[in-house]
Amino acid sequence: MEISKTVAEWESDLGSQVRALRLRANLDQVSLAERAGIGLTALKNLESGKGATVKTLVRMLRALNRAEWLLTLAPSVSISPLQMLKAKSMRQRASPKNTRQGNGDEHGH
């Protein structure tokens, strides 16, 4: 996946994917716009890469039963192993002391 695309390139690619989904579902633009509850012009703008609102995109994806695409835009946040180590709770006990052989004096006196 190329991340260095321009906004216009991203819009064009997304529009092409939306159009392909619509055609696979055997829907014309008017039918999909009605099913999604969006304007025909909004759908045409989305498909042609001229931009659309997030609301238009969400409604259109729902109408095409592809709302799961939205989950890829904002995956759920998980804690990384490094964060888990940093968040480790404070120690509750001291480690057992090593006892020295000899006089039994822990402090070496």
First vs last C-alpha separation in the chain: 69
In a domain, residue 30? The reply is: yes
CA distances 70 to 17, 53, 60, Å, are 14, 14, 11
In a domain, residue 85? The reply is: no
Mean pLDDT of the chain: 83
In a domain, residue 44? The reply is: yes
If one counts the domains in the chain, the total is 1
The CATH number given to whatever domain includes residue 58 is 1.10.260.40
Burial label for 30, CB within 10 Å (0-12, 13-18, 19+), is exposed
Rg (CA), the chain: 29
In a domain, residue 40? The reply is: yes
How do residues 29-46 score in pLDDT, each as one tens digit? 999 999 999 999 999 999
Domain boundaries, position 51:
7-74
Higher pLDDT: 66 or 95? It is: 66
In a domain, residue 102? The reply is: no
Identify the sign of the CA torsion 67, 69, 72, 78: positive
DSSP 93: S
Q: How far is residue 65's CA from residue 24's CA, in Å, rounded to a whole number? A: 12
Higher pLDDT: 100 or 64? It is: 64
In a domain, residue 93? The reply is: no
In a domain, residue 83? The reply is: no
Indicate the residue type of 77.
V
Q: State yes or no: pLDDT of 73 exceeds 70.
A: yes
How do residues 5-29 score in pLDDT, each as one tens digit? 899 999 999 999 999 999 999 999 9
Q: Say if CB 33 and CB 47 are below 8 A apart.
A: no
In a domain, residue 50? The reply is: yes
How do residues 77-88 score in pLDDT, each as one tens digit? 677 666 666 666
